[in-house]
Amino acid sequence: MDFTLNEEQMAIRDTCREFTEQEIKPLAEVMDRTGAFPYVLVRQMGELGLLGLPFPEEYGGAGADFLSYCIAIEEISRGDVSVGITMEAHTSLGASPFYLFGSEKQKEQYLPPLARGEQLWAFGLTEPGAGSDSGGSQTRAILRDGHWHINGSKSFITNAGTDMTGGVTITAITGKRTDGRNEITNIIIPKNTPGYIIGNPYKKMAWKASDTRPLTFEDCVVPEGDTLGGPGDGFQQFMHILVGGRVAIAALSVGLAQACLDEALKYAKERKQFGQPISKFQAIQFKLADMDTEIELARLMYYKAAWLQMQGKPFSREASMAKLFASETAKRAADQAVQIHGGYGFMDEYPVSRYWRSVKVNEIGEGTSEVQRMVIAKNLGC
């Protein structure tokens, strides 16, 4: 078993680490305070090729492997999770459906500006009444005169309303299957399509500089051909998209957990009580040791899930385990990082206060911890 990263993986990790240190970290506090979308950073990331990492060069991507992409997400999220989730939602949820399920014409049309980072794209699955039960969508598309007529709404959609957003791919009910269940289809909706209404950004607990919005469709009309695959392919497609996304969210959680450890260790070495740095107290050392151990384990879990994906093997169980464990590891790490900072950890001038707020949503987005446990239990035959 070889755990060594290859040269390309190390080069991508180092590029992202440098970018994070030099460009992202200095802006993290102000992004959290103002909630302003980080256009400058996102454009720089596009120029570095970070917004199209796992796509072939012929479509404007960097041709990197899936593990390199996940390592990049970890490193960027170590600097700021708003930037990390913007990159992840754009790549895993927005662009990859075109690459995985688009026709050649759709790939040529949509993928290059997304992979080059000139445009962002969103994926709209969640609805006001359909979250974990994502098959329970109510948004409907009816085929009339060669066009889909779409009515319904979507909730919590990342990257849906930035100035760089090109559009959204949504799930919609397009009919009934022979077994009586709803037929779900993924439909491409460019921004500025009449009847596609982008709501105001939500006010959020954290991830403040990422763009999250409700969407409404009122007699929104797109051509019949603007679907990914054929009618009824949508359910399998979004399940596939989510499995890959969970590995990337695990990497995002590891990045945030590592940031918690970095800050806690630095502070523990500086802060003196009872005449010595608090890092000399075994109670503090054990917290740091537990954080380091759990982070390493979570990292190995997402590496393994990514490796399985690259071997073309099933990886749904490992993706859920990695997402579940990494998000809960990050939560524990954020909690202990604040504890190690004492009262200062409660003050916004210290990054750990922001990390503590940021970490909760990792247990919710792209499948809650309960949903991950359901997937794992199903694999056990329950």
Minimum distance from residue 180 beta carbon to ligand FAD (Å): 21
Is 119 near ligand FAD (CB under 6 A)? no
Does position 366 interact with ligand FAD (CB under 6 A)? The reply is yes
376 binds ligand FAD (CB under 6 A): no
* Nearest Cα to Cα of residue 366 among 375, 353, 357: 375
- Residues 60-99 within binding reach of ligand FAD (CB under 6 A): 89, 93
Shortest reach from residue 171's CB to ligand FAD, in Å: 8
Entry field: residues in the chain: 382
Q: Are 256 and 207 in contact (CB under 8 A)?
A: no
Instruction: Please give the single-letter amino acid code of residue 54.
Output: P
**230 exposure class (CB count in 10 Å sphere: 0-12, 13-18, 19+):** exposed
Among 9, 86, 92, 158, binds ligand FAD (CB under 6 A): 158
Give the bridge partners for 176, in sequence order. 182
Q: Does 244 bind ligand FAD (CB under 6 A)?
A: no
**CA dihedral defined by 119, 212, 42, 228, rounded to 10 degrees?**
-30
User: Pick from 63, 112, 131, 277: which binds ligand FAD (CB under 6 A)?
Assistant: 131
Residues labelled as active-site residues: 366
Nearer to ligand FAD, 131 or 232 (CB): 131
Q: What is the dihedral of CA 50, 55, 61, 66, to 10 degrees?
A: 30
Task: State which residue, 339 or 369, has the beta carbon closest to ligand FAD.
Answer: 369
Comparison of 212 and 258: residue with beta carbon closer to ligand FAD: 212
The closest of 140, 158, 160, 162 to 38, measured between CA atoms, is 162
Q: What is the dihedral of CA 307, 24, 91, 86, to 10 degrees?
A: 130
Q: Does 186 bind ligand FAD (CB under 6 A)?
A: no
| CB nearer to ligand FAD: pick between 35 and 131 | 131
124 binds ligand FAD (CB under 6 A): yes
Say if residues 251 and 73 touch (Cβ distance below 8 Å). Answer: yes
Nearest to residue 52, comparing CAs of 21, 7, 10, 98?
98
Residue least distant from ligand FAD (Cβ): 131
Regarding 365 and contact with ligand FAD (CB under 6 A), the answer is yes
Contacts of ligand FAD in 196-225 (CB under 6 A): 207, 212
Query: Measured from the CB atom, is 135 or 229 closer to ligand FAD?
Result: 135
List residues near ligand FAD by CB under 6 A.
89, 93, 122-126, 131-132, 156-158, 207, 212, 361, 364-368, 370-371
